[in-house]
Amino acid sequence: MSNLRPRVYDLVLQIPAGRVLAYGDVAGALGCPGAARQVGYAMAALGPGGLDKQGRAVPWQRVILSSGFVAMRGDPVRGPLQRQLLEEEGVQFDGDRVDLKRFRWDLRDVTLV
């Protein structure tokens, strides 16, 4: 299945505020287990404001590392911003990591288009 990015955005757009998903979760849900890094790349490809090519505001902050930390590579200012955005929508941090037991979104509710 080519064009993974658009599908990544479609799924991320379905993540409810206050919940998070790991890059690997997204890849797996799209039938591409192991393509976690590509999901991260798709996020990095988003323009300012998290807008995709269709102008949709993708809630990129809801995708984090499977360990619960927010990814720190690339733009050093994104990390703190991501954490702030998540806390504003109710996601609580235990130290520097999200408690995945409580905030990881249950993919069973997804309706893939």
Q: What angle do CA 87, 65, 23 make, to 5 degrees?
A: 110
Residues 87, 1: Cα–Cα separation, whole Å: 35
How far apart are CB 28 and DNA at their closest, in Å? 9
Contact positions with DNA (CB under 7 A) in 45-64: 45-46, 50, 60-61, 63
Using CB under 7 A as the binding rule, whether residue 5 contacts DNA is answered as yes
Using CB under 7 A as the binding rule, whether residue 20 contacts DNA is answered as no
Size of the site for DNA (CB under 7 A): 35
For DNA, give the closer residue by CB, 58 or 108: 58
Q: Give the side-chain half-sphere CA count within 13 A for 94.
A: 8
